[in-house]
Amino acid sequence: MRTSNGLLSSILLASRILATPIQINNSPITLPIAVHINAEGGTLALINRDRARFQAMTARGFAKSVENNTNIPIPVNDNGQIYLANVGVGAGNYSLIVDTGSSNTWIGANKPYIPSPKSIDTGMPVGVSYGSGGFIGEEYIDTLTIGSDVQLIQSFGVANESAGFNGLDGILGLGPDDLTEVSTPSNDVIPTVTDNMVMQGITKARLVGVSFVPSESAGGVPNGQLDFGAPNLSKYVGNITFTPKTTTAPASEYWGINQTITYGDARTPLLSPTSGFVDTGTTLLYIASDAFETYQASTNAVLDETTGLLTVDSVENLQSLFFTIGGREFEFTPNAQIWPQSMNSLMGGSTNATYLVVNNIGTPTGSGVDFVDGFVFLQRFYTVFDSDNSQIGFANTANTLDDVN
């Protein structure tokens, strides 16, 4: 799977030597991220983009799990609610989508690359197709600035052609690094930012903690944060519970886990232990169609044709969903199950209706991807993507039980 020949790998090796030695941090390297909302086409379009994304991830994951390195597109274009990171690349600043479902970092969709004096053009063509968008260009090596003062030497794509990224500059790829294999003709693995921080002595662990905040919790100005190298103690409460990456394809090729979901005080089973994705680039929470039917029956929800979302008369009638991950139960409250009401009309819904963020994956249990814990889930729990130990951790946060709707 991993080849280590070719120009790119020797340049990648050289880039480690070029890196300025920095004192190794026990504390995380912190990068603030800001929420970005794309309301185009309302929730109906959002759900279509979500579905296109996890269906493509599924097809690509199955192919990869049998060593078929077909470059099947993964849509990660500007969808619904996403987080953006401001990252310095060379002598410019770029607004990049934080994506755990893809692994190439690239710029150039909007603003041109401004090389620093350290810039190296590797001459290596690079391209990733995201289904409803994508880019092609060339792989460069230059300084990447995280926050105000952390610099690393990073190989990244500079797009000369791209589609699907209006007003955004590209992607900060935080998925498993071997997803980069098919993006260049050499099939080399291109180290991610998380990898390079360790290789260049900036952090001790190939790990990134993702802190999202419920849309309305921060006084209407939602904030998020990435922490590289170590979880940030100020972003969660209690313990982090880790669970191994799932071994079930195709979720095994991404950040995927096994989990159980039940509904309400009676713990009505929706999903028995099964595999799926944990994904920052999917907006809603998706479950297998049979689980979705049980959820709809349990909540007396009605599918609203205009928005594609389930709707209920009142939040008062909802009970919590319970996710069992790594042997621990996490509570996803009634309030967490509601689409932010302040965004109802923006997304094509009616102002006073109560819409739900739990949606149908479109395939029955047993397909390999029986859930996608998307953005709306990750807003309620601190999530740690630990590459060194192939595990994902979850913890409660100060906002887990917030009533924001």
Ligand X SMILES: *[C@@H]1O[C@H](CO)[C@@H](O)[C@H](O)[C@H]1NC(C)=O
Site for ligand X in 239-268 (CB under 6 A): 239, 244, 246-248, 258
Which residue in 91, 167, 162, 164 sits closest to 126, CA to CA?
162
Assess 399 for contact with ligand X (CB under 6 A).
no
Q: 195 an active-site residue?
A: no
* Count of other CB atoms within 10 angstroms of residue 110: 15
With contacts defined by CB under 6 A, name the span among 8-16, 196-204, 237-245, 317-325 that binds ligand X: 237-245
Assess 161 for contact with ligand X (CB under 6 A).
yes
Q: Is 381 helix (H, G, I), strand (E, B) or coil?
A: strand
Assess 225 for contact with ligand X (CB under 6 A).
yes
Phi, psi of 359 (to 5 degrees): -135, 175
Output 289 or 391, the one with its CB closest to ligand X. Answer: 391
Output 102 or 232, the one with its CB closest to ligand X. Answer: 232
**String of contacts with ligand X for each residue 58-77, x by CB under 6 A:** -x--xx----x-x-x-----
Assess 389 for contact with ligand X (CB under 6 A).
no
* Count of other CB atoms within 10 angstroms of residue 81: 21
Please identify which of the residues 50, 142, 169, 279 carries the catalytic annotation: 279
Of 234, 300, 306, 342, the one binding ligand X by CB under 6 A: 234
Q: 177 an active-site residue?
A: no
Assess 137 for contact with ligand X (CB under 6 A).
yes
Which residue in 232, 255, 281 sits closest to 46, CA to CA?
281
Assess 170 for contact with ligand X (CB under 6 A).
no
Residues 6+ apart with CB under 8 A from 222: 34, 35, 212, 213, 214, 215, 216
- We find the least distance from the C-beta atom of residue 139 to ligand X, in angstroms, to be 9
Specify the amino acid at residue 256.
G
Tokens of 38: 């794309």
Provide the b/e sequence for 178-213 (b: ≥16 CB within 10 Å): ebbbbbbebbbbbbbbbbbbbbbbbbebbbbbbbbb
Q: Which H or E run includes 19? A: none
**String of contacts with ligand X for each residue 5-44, x by CB under 6 A:** ----------------------xx-x--------------
What are the C-alpha distances in Å from 71 to residues 7, 98, 133, 182, 306?
A: 21, 21, 14, 6, 34
Output 92 or 362, the one with its CB closest to ligand X. Answer: 92
Tokens of 214: 């419920």
Please identify which of the residues 50, 78, 99, 370 carries the catalytic annotation: 99
Apex 102 CA angle, 101 and 108, nearest 5? 135
Output 240 or 361, the one with its CB closest to ligand X. Answer: 240
* Residues that bind ligand X in the complex, under the rule CB under 6 A: 27-28, 30, 59, 62-63, 68, 70, 72, 86, 88, 91-93, 125, 136-138, 148, 160-161, 225, 232-234, 238-239, 244, 246-248, 258, 273, 275, 352-353
> Which amino acids are annotated catalytic?
99, 279
